[in-house]
Amino acid sequence: MNRGGWKTNDWVGMSRKRVLITGAAGRIGKACARDLRERYDLRLMYHRTPLEEDFGQEVVQGAANDLERMEEIVDGMDAIIHMAGNPRVGASWDSILESNIVGLYCLYEAAHRRQVPRIVFASSNHATGFYEQEGTFTTVAMPARPATTVSARCSARIWAATTTTSTAWRLSVCASVPFSRTKP
């Protein structure tokens, strides 16, 4: 059968895409693994907290800020869903720097070196923290106004994902940045 130029049997025998999920032991990482395990071959990465659930997929341990280890972990992947990092609002700057900013850099560098073409990551609404404190409705066009060290992390991740690495290394990056949920 021909549908729009493609034969339905053209996909038979094609291997499934390989996707790495960092932060797979976290709430969002686990949800991604549950939703994607039937369609993709997953490599699930955790740092300190082992996965409690058996997803029937490859599981690896590593720290995002360890470039050599990240190169090993991303090798052979078609895409990366990056959910690793320290999400605590009260986290120290040193923790944020190592886990989130250096970790993001190492992930991008490893993806570049191992030729992984796609990265998806989500930031948080903390990147617009001062707007929310003022009661200002935010949109995606507004610049970041971080209110905490976690907020600064979010802003750094946004900057890294949308500027130098994606442009210079020709990575396809999808960065999700939530904005205000309700209008004033």
Q: What is the CATH number of the domain that holds 24?
A: 3.40.50.720
Q: Is 115 left (phi over 0), alpha (psi -120 to 50) or beta?
A: left
Q: Decide if 4 is inside a domain.
A: no
**Is 144 within a domain?**
yes
- Residue 139 burial (CB count, 10 A): 10
One pLDDT digit (tens) per residue for the chain, 184 residues:
333 444 444 445 568 999 999 999 998 899 999 999 999 999 999 999 888 888 889 999 999 999 999 999 999 999 999 999 887 777 787 887 888 888 888 998 999 999 998 888 776 655 566 666 677 666 666 666 666 655 565 566 556 555 555 555 666 666 555 444 444 4
Number of domains making up the chain = 1
26 close to 44: Cβ distance less than 8 angstroms: no
Q: Are strands 18-22 and 2-3 parallel, antiparallel or unpaired?
A: unpaired
Around 8, how many Cα atoms within 13 Å sit in the side-chain half-sphere?
A: 3
Does residue 26 form part of some domain? yes
- Gap between the Cα atoms of 49 and 13, Å rounded: 36
Please indicate, yes or no, if residue 5 is contained in any of the structural domains.
no
Residue 2 lies in a domain: no
Range(s) of the domain holding residue 39? 15-176
Is residue 127 one of the residues assigned to a domain? yes
Decide if 184 is inside a domain. no
Query: Does residue 131 contact residue 76 with C-beta atoms inside 8 Å?
Result: no
Residue 181 falls within a domain, yes or no?
no
Whole-prediction pTM: 0.74
